[in-house]
Structure 1
Amino acid sequence: MKKTWVAAGLVAVTLLSSACGAQKEAAKTGGAEATKSPAATAAGTNETRKITYLGKEYTVPSKAERIVVAGSFESMEDALVLGVKPIGANSVGGKFPEMFKSITDKAESVGEKTQPNLETILKLKPDVILGSTKFPPEMMEKMNKVKVTLPISHVSTDWEANLNVLAELTGQQDKAKEAIEKYKKEAAAAKEKLGTSLKDKKVLAIRVRAGSIAIYPAGVFFNPSLYTDLGLAVPNEVKEAKAQQLISLEKLSEINPDYMFVQFSEDENKEQPKALEDLEKNPIWQSINAVKNKKMFVNVVDPLAQGGTSYSKIKFLEAALPKLTN
């Protein structure tokens, strides 16, 4: 996959060189654009400011109006909460996911999530790019040559920092504060409502990707919502997971969850579109407590939801609580 990212970065080398050359030529002639980046020119100013995100300082334009999201669905979900409309965003299978319809009506595709098109991003003249901590260093380096790029965390426990940095970039701090406080209040009420009713129950969230079953660490996916916000017991297998971990159906049956939330997207299972259907027909799957007792729930939120964002947490809490209290 790194080769794919590097190849994508090389596509823009010629255009980047040309842009840099043009700026140097303007500087020689004392032109008005000599000290302005393409994004600053679009915004009409070259003033900057410093912001801090997850302990690191970034220099960004004073008015970050032209935002490109490249590789971070976490940022796309935060944009949904704040009503931010990026000028460029990732597509899935050549189109924007339906869940982002309200913020992508005027956006241009900048390639797939793992294959951002740097040439397209450069042409959009962004003020700032929101990348991903999943990108390899060489990809981040090339993106930063286009414009300052923030590596937005994919770790669920960074959800507040992610929402707040987008809010700071766009001047919507009050809206972010309101969303965070509202969620925390509702999560606390939900935890109190559950009480000790699930004390001896195993609750598990899994994702079916490329036909395989994946579980995640306690700080990733929907797990913080279940185990931190709602106070449910963390299964040992989740405690031991260091990253996305593929497990066999036999291993899932050993975990034997009493409640199971399953995320399945056809976009993530293109070569095996009936993977979930096949699992549901399997006797081993049918022997799992959650399945036997009708406590297995598929796509209680959009299947492309990342799980560890303000949007995912809000929607998951709304959908999951009724399932856990029935």
Structure 2
Amino acid sequence: MRQMRQRMVFCMAIVLTLVMTACSNNSEQAKVAADAEADSRVVGSEKGEIKIPAHPARVIGLSVVYPEFLQALGVTPVAVQNYQEEFPTYLEEPFKDTLKMGIAQTPNFEMILSANPDLILAPTWWSAKDYDQLSGIAPTVLLPQRDDWRDELKDIAGVLGKTELAEKVIKDLEAQEAEAKQKLDDLVGNETVMYMMVMPGSFVLYGDQIDRGKFLHTTLGLEMIPNFPTKDPSLSISLEKLPEYNPDHIFLQLNNEDDAGVKKTYEDLLKSPLWKNMTAVKKNQVYTMAGKDWFNLGMSPLANRYAVDAVLQAFEGNSK
């Protein structure tokens, strides 16, 4: 009888141990599942809802302007596509450890993989065709095409949970631009200003119907040359045509300082009597801006912020 009672107690102990072990395992599995859920969240994209890390640490923004949006939101990308050989002046320090992947019609999947991203952000107009390969490397959020960079910034901020910061970035820039516009009105008045870019074998003039020209002539209020066709966003002209557009001031940008064709066109321009006889040249009112620094002008808050200071410095230096 006593032995039977001992066996019963022993069996009950084994059952109790098994039950407790099962409960413990279930509890651990539930905790792991809860932790995994807490470490991720679901966001909307052009491909529907996507699960991404709650706090992504290694982010890649494809397209030449997405990295600037990320940096404006306090997220330094681990790899970027770069059109220019060097980073813009305002990104040299924050991007000192960022991988340059160059630019091509198709992303460099090998370099993206080597950067070990935990999140990829990409515009659908450029990356939809490569979505499967990109999402095989890391969660990839495709974002819609926008006409205004502010909307692009807000889209990215929504993914990163930084909507309030995006609004602050926009408001701070608007305040800086408004202050600069007032100063420039005092410095420049009604004198005419032309935005001119040096391309291989030709020159492009920008009006106020395109991002770059709109920045100078609408945002900062600088007077356009009177004979610029109002409906054209830009004009591609030869050196011989240049004197027809003869402003008081010229902002001159080399499209790409590393391009041999651009360098040759620029050198020929400086030697030309047509150029030397232009009003802005004779008055020493030509302001040369680096192609890398003004590449994303009108398309990024960081580029615009840098350009506001550059334009002010140009005119303030000229007035001394």
The normalised TM-score by structure 2 is 0.69
Deviation at 1:167, TM superposition (A): 2.7
Deviation at 1:262, TM superposition (A): 1.0
Q: 2:305 corresponds to which residue? A: 314
- Structure 1 distance, partners of 2:181, 2:274, is 32
Q: 1:24 corresponds to which residue? A: none
Deviation at 1:265, TM superposition (A): 5.3
Change (3 A) 1:284 1:95: closer
8 Å Cα contact 2:257-2:291 kept in structure 1: no
User: What does 1:24-173 align with in structure 2 at a 5 Å threshold?
Assistant: 47-50=41-44, 59-60=49-50, 61=52, 63=54, 65=56, 66-72=58-64, 74-92=65-83, 99-112=90-103, 114-121=105-112, 124=116, 126-131=118-123, 135=126, 140-143=128-131, 146=134, 147-150=140-143, 153=146, 158-173=148-163
Deviation at 1:258, TM superposition (A): 1.4
8 Å Cα contact 1:99-1:302 kept in structure 2: no
Q: 2:272 corresponds to which residue? A: 282
Aligned to 1:275, the other structure's residue is in SS state: helix
- Structure 1 distance, partners of 2:47, 2:131, is 17
Q: 1:226 corresponds to which residue? A: 216
Change (3 A) 1:115 1:50: closer
8 Å Cα contact 1:84-1:103 kept in structure 2: no
8 Å Cα contact 1:203-1:260 kept in structure 2: yes
- The answer to whether 1:296 aligns with 2:290 is no
Question: Structure 2 stretches of 5 or more lacking a match?
Answer: 1-35, 135-139
Question: Structure 1 stretches of 5 or more lacking a match?
Answer: 1-40
Q: 1:184 corresponds to which residue? A: 174
- Structure 2 distance, partners of 1:141, 1:105, is 30
What's the CA shift string for 1:211-265, capped at 9, x where partnerless? 43123352434322222222233445363324x5422123332111211111125
The residue identity in structure 2 corresponding to 1:129 is L
Aligned to 1:277, the other structure's residue is in SS state: helix
Aligned length: 273
Q: 2:16 corresponds to which residue? A: none
The residue identity in structure 2 corresponding to 1:48 is V
Larger Rg: 2
- Structure 2 distance, partners of 1:83, 1:189, is 24
8 Å Cα contact 1:209-1:268 kept in structure 2: no
Deviation at 1:297, TM superposition (A): 0.3
Q: 1:19 corresponds to which residue? A: none
- Structure 1 distance, partners of 2:213, 2:262, is 26
8 Å Cα contact 1:206-1:263 kept in structure 2: yes
The residue identity in structure 1 corresponding to 2:128 is M
Change (3 A) 1:285 1:132: farther
What's the CA shift string for 1:80-126, capped at 9, x where partnerless? 33332213211347775665333434433444255522454356455
The residue identity in structure 1 corresponding to 2:171 is E
Deviation at 1:276, TM superposition (A): 1.7
Change (3 A) 1:64 1:256: farther
Change (3 A) 1:58 1:296: farther
Deviation at 1:285, TM superposition (A): 1.1
What's the CA shift string for 1:254-294, capped at 9, x where partnerless? 11121111112554523443432321111111122111111
Deviation at 1:317, TM superposition (A): 1.1
What's the CA shift string for 1:112-163, capped at 9, x where partnerless? 2555224543564552322485x4xxx532246523323565x5xx132233
Aligned to 1:204, the other structure's residue is in SS state: strand
Aligned to 1:193, the other structure's residue is in SS state: helix
The residue identity in structure 1 corresponding to 2:63 is G
Change (3 A) 1:131 1:260: same
- Structure 2 distance, partners of 1:50, 1:199, is 47
User: What does 1:262-273 align with in structure 2 at a 5 Å threshold?
Assistant: 262-264=252-254, 266-267=256-257, 269-273=259-263
- Structure 2 distance, partners of 1:84, 1:301, is 24
Aligned to 2:92, the other structure's residue is in SS state: helix
